[in-house]
């Protein structure tokens, strides 16, 4: 359970130090120590869930991730990845009818999106998942990005959000990585390593499938709770994409490794789309 041993959403460094033997969370949460990490979770206009999944399981995803860990001498190894459903574009307590509506609003945003939305006048607030409900309830934040309607309904967010703006452009997936402490992993027998790796990959597929089926009916539960569930306004989506492209260009210009990973993922996604446009 997040927060039981170390602070929730901050498990990477404790796993490297051996406080934890293994953990699972999204690279988007690693940005405070690894600025390039959010790309390994998702990025605006980036690969879909299945494209990311294949990139990790059979492509160069984990090779580049290990290279990233080496830049900070982190003693962890990735062993499997989970691909979540596309996230809700944004939850808010207010309607978005024009771009100025988001200016000055406090939003729970993670990773690069804190900067991307910041360019539109949004104030990013660092809020752990477990604190979102109360933060919305008390008006500490005016909106948030988190996950999809299935996951977020189980966390009760339909009770505190007024609007759920839908659309996969912002986050077509959210990759979670299962990683282990190198010393603990080295002590594990090879047969148990294989079992853990294969079980982790399988559980990721099982989770994605079950969430997808649940998603077909869960929107009505949100609507019945009084939440307006509707497509994100085109003008807002376009503004976020424009801000994102500017941000990625800035990051590539000043960080060679960021440029390497971004270009690798973008080229990979384009290559997949050329052969399998709807994958």
Distance CA 20, CA 22 (A): 6
Assigned domain for 32 exists: yes
**Domain total of the chain:** 2
Domain span at 107 = 90-170+217-246
Q: Is residue 209 scored above 60 in pLDDT? A: yes
Distance CA 111, CA 122 (A): 14
| One domain, residues 39 and 166 | no
Q: Residue 19 belongs to a domain with what CATH number? A: 3.40.190.170
Residue partners of 130: CB distance under 8 A and separation at least 6 = 2, 3, 8
Highest mean pLDDT among 167-171, 207-211, 226-230: 226-230
Specify which residues 176 forms β-bridges with.
82
Q: Residue 224 belongs to a domain with what CATH number? A: 3.40.190.10
Assigned domain for 125 exists: yes
Sign of CA dihedral 59, 82, 78, 108: positive
Q: What are phi and psi of 76, to 5 degrees?
A: -135, 155
Q: What's the pLDDT tens digit per position in 152-202?
A: 999 999 999 999 999 999 999 989 999 999 999 999 999 999 999 999 999
| One domain, residues 123 and 63 | no
| One domain, residues 200 and 146 | no
Assigned domain for 159 exists: yes
Residue 1: pLDDT band with limits 50, 70, 90: low
Distance CA 219, CA 149 (A): 7
Cβ atoms < 10 Å from Cβ of 257: 15
pTM equals 0.84
- The per-residue b/e assignment along 185-208, b for 16 or more CB within 10 angstroms, e otherwise, is beeeeeeeeeebeeebbeebeebb
| One domain, residues 179 and 123 | no
């Amino acid at each position: 359970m997040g927060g039981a041993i170390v602070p929730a959403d901050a498990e990477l460094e404790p796993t490297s130090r051996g406080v934890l033997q293994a953990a699972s969370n999204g690279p988007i949460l690693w940005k405070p120590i690894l600025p390039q990490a959010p790309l390994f979770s998702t990025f605006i206009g980036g690969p879909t869930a299945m494209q990311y999944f294949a990139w990790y399981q059979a492509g160069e995803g984990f090779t580049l991730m290990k290279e990233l860990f080496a830049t900070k001498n982190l003693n962890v190894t990735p062993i499997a990845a989970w691909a979540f459903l596309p996230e809700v574009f944004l939850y808010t307590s207010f309607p978005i009818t024009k771009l100025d509506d988001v200016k000055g609003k406090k939003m729970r945003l993670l990773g690069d999106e804190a900067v991307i939305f910041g360019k539109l006048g949004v104030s990013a607030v660092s809020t752990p998942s477990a604190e979102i409900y109360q933060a919305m309830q008390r008006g500490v934040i005016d909106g948030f990005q988190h996950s999809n309607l299935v996951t977020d309904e189980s966390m009760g967010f339909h009770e505190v959000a007024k609007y759920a703006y839908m659309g996969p452009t912002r986050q077509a997936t959210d990759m979670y990585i299962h990683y282990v402490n190198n010393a603990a992993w080295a002590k594990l027998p090879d047969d148990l390593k294989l079992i853990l790796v294969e079980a982790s990959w399988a559980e990721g597929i099982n989770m994605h499938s079950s969430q997808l089926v649940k998603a077909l009916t869960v929107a009505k539960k949100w609507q019945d709770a009084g939440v307006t569930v509707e497509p994100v306004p085109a003008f807002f989506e376009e503004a976020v994409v424009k801000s994102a492209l500017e941000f990625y260009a800035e990051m590539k210009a000043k960080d060679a490794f960021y440029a390497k990973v971004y270009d690798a993922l973008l080229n990979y996604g384009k290559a997949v789309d050329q052969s399998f446009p709807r994958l």
